[in-house]
Structure 1
Amino acid sequence: MGQILVRQLDDATITRLEIAARERNTSVEALARAAIQAAATLTADEKSRWSVECRRSPNARPCRGFGKRPAWI
């Protein structure tokens, strides 16, 4: 599983994240993970376009952005 390091967050941002995590009874890491996953999730339209593009060239290398076809295809 991949990792990411976010640098140069100001103290106020960290404080707000800590408060939000406490209020939700979770960790700052869990909040950050959820935000990143939400930002990286494909919309239905994006999934449809990706699927059409991949089906046009089934013998080509894996579609860009993915090492293999996702489970939802």
Structure 2
Amino acid sequence: QLSTRIIRENQAVAVEDLAVKGLARTRLAKSVHDAGWSAFVAMLEYKAARYGRTFVRIGRFEPTSQVC
């Protein structure tokens, strides 16, 4: 339901490839595994294609916060 709402409300969605293995070793481990990040991103991707929205996957080493 959340992925559908995000896609319907936005023309473009950009997600970062997270190092889930690295995050699993931090105190966020339970949240990362519970969220099922890869499954959520997959849902966003196919729903974006279905609704004609733009979906962009940004590499984890892209210096986006530095550019902003």
| Coarse TM-score class (shorter-chain normalised) | under 0.3
Larger radius of gyration: 1
Q: Compute the TM-score of the two structures, normalised by the length of structure 1.
A: 0.27
Q: Which is richer in strand?
A: 2
| Higher RCO, Cα 8 Å, sep 6+ | 2
